[in-house]
Amino acid sequence: MELAALASAAVPGLAPTGVSTAPDDPADFESALLIDDSGKQWRVRAPRHTEASMRLETELQVLRAFTPGVRAELPFLVPHVAGTVRIGDLRTFVYSHIEGSTRSLDELAAGGRELAREIGRAIAAVHELPRTLVSEADLPVYEANEVRQRRLNELDQAATTGRIPSELLRRWEHALEDVSLWRFNPTVVHGDIHEDNLLLTAGRVCAVTGWTDLSVGDPADDFAWLAATQDADFADEVHEAYIAARSDAADNHLLRRAALAAEFALAQWMVRGLALGDDGMVDEAEEMMRSLAADLAAEEAALAAEAETEDTTTGEGYGNRAWDDEETGREGAVSPSGNADGDASDGDASDGAAGEPPVRTLQGRENLETSALPVVPRG
């Protein structure tokens, strides 16, 4: 009942009569849902360490920036901070509870086409927010090349640990060196969208929570969580609804960058574990990276075996095999040169990184096996 006592101190007159757990990032926050003596519900979040506390302070800035006019334009509700209380260097936050419940990723995928479209439209609404909302709140604003450079710097930092499988390092380096992949229009980005931050009522997205990582940056970051789904149709429906709801032209490489973000989150999780001195986090991240590397190797072997079988049947040599979309019948087929067919129009050949397969897309189950990509908590 410690959180209940903190909530009473944060919100004068609040008298909790019941408490239950609330989904959250357990490494960062202690959370609970409270019921008061009038039947009203409240959410409490207490940071476990200074870094988590800074994220909650950022969220407070974000929620204050959501003026009544901005809130009225959104197709969903956002939280409201009802009160705070400081214990030492850490501040606990109490939020007015929003009706609705979370679903697992599998449950969302099984929720049907309209729910997938709801999610796509919700993400689009975030990305349509004015950039001034972020800049005026003194939150991070990154242009496309800055996003790429930051990711390169993070990769360099991760590489110095000596714990990243060499095949993943090469894969990520080549993706980051492919300049054409990083040509996008920066948008307002939620930064921590996943199933636990989407509240549903009657099959609709009624609220979006977890606004601790708002910035202007790569819209693909808000799609990375979909890499963990085994339902390609669900991811496609979300993406298609998103495109239809956006005012910007379609970003041809958004899902490729999203897949990269999902993969690279494993390295970020490992680096964070090292910084926190958490051996469990480090071991978990290393195991997931080994699993990912093994999955990628198996995919490449399967594609090579398939090509060899087809070449034997047709009498063509591997080096002369034309791996284009029409001949393979697959979207985003990978050519022996390592480039995805159809990308040439997005940049000069000098922009791309030849010799390595591109980042796996969220479209086409042949090119993306996501079983090794669980959602990694942000930090």
Q: What is the CATH number of the domain that holds 81?
A: 3.30.200.20
- CA dihedral of 49, 53, 55, 57, whole degrees rounded to 10: -170
Q: Is-contact 35 41, C-beta < 8 A?
A: yes
Q: 30-34 long-range contacts, Cβ below 8 Å, gap at least 24? A: 30/3, 31/3, 32/3, 32/4, 33/97, 34/3, 34/4, 34/7
Residues 6+ apart with CB under 8 A from 184: 144, 218, 219, 220, 251, 253, 254, 257
**How many residues would you count in the chain?**
379
Query: Is the residue at 343 inside a domain?
Result: no
Query: Is the residue at 61 inside a domain?
Result: yes
Which has more pLDDT, 300 or 156?
156
Identify the weakest region by mean pLDDT among 124-133, 219-228, 318-327: 318-327
Residues 6+ apart with CB under 8 A from 174: 338, 353, 355, 356
Mean pLDDT for 211-238 is: 96
Question: How far is Cα 308 from Cα 302, in angstroms, rounded to an integer?
Answer: 10
Mean pLDDT for 188-217 is: 95
Question: How far is Cα 18 from Cα 177, in angstroms, rounded to an integer?
Answer: 54
Query: Is the residue at 240 inside a domain?
Result: no
How would residue 307 be classed by pLDDT, with cut points 50, 70 and 90?
confident
Which has more pLDDT, 123 or 49?
123
Beta bridge partners, 92, equal: 85
Query: Is the residue at 50 inside a domain?
Result: yes
Percent of the chain with pLDDT over 90: 68
Number of Cβ within a 10 Å radius of residue 104: 11
Query: Is the residue at 38 inside a domain?
Result: yes
Confidence at residue 47, expressed as pLDDT on a 0 to 100 scale: 93
pLDDT of 203 over the 50 cut: yes
Question: How far is Cα 197 from Cα 24, in angstroms, rounded to an integer?
Answer: 9
pLDDT of 349 over the 60 cut: no
pTM above 0.75, yes or no: yes
Query: Is the residue at 23 inside a domain?
Result: yes
Question: How far is Cα 267 from Cα 209, in angstroms, rounded to an integer?
Answer: 25
Instruction: Tell me the residue ranges of DSSP E strands in the chain.
Output: 16-21, 29-36, 41-47, 81-87, 90-96, 187-189, 198-201, 204-208, 215-217
Q: Is-contact 23 87, C-beta < 8 A?
A: no
Question: How far is Cα 28 from Cα 378, in angstroms, rounded to an integer?
Answer: 9
Which residue's structure tokens are 């509240």? Answer: 199
Note down the domain range covering 18: 2-96
Query: Is the residue at 315 inside a domain?
Result: no
Q: Is-contact 56 44, C-beta < 8 A?
A: no
Number of Cβ within a 10 Å radius of residue 30: 18
CA-based nearest residue to 62, from 75, 78, 47, 51: 78
Residue type at 96 in one-letter notation: S
The whole-chain average pLDDT of the chain stands at 84
Query: Is the residue at 214 inside a domain?
Result: no
**Number of domains into which the chain is organized:** 1
Confidence at residue 314, expressed as pLDDT on a 0 to 100 scale: 61
CA atoms 178, 180, 186, 192: torsion sign? negative
CA-based nearest residue to 228, from 282, 292, 169: 292
Mean pLDDT for 270-278 is: 93
pLDDT of 222 over the 60 cut: yes
Confidence at residue 304, expressed as pLDDT on a 0 to 100 scale: 87
Helix then strand then coil, % of the chain, to nearest 5: 50, 15, 35
Mean pLDDT for 77-98 is: 93
Confidence at residue 327, expressed as pLDDT on a 0 to 100 scale: 34
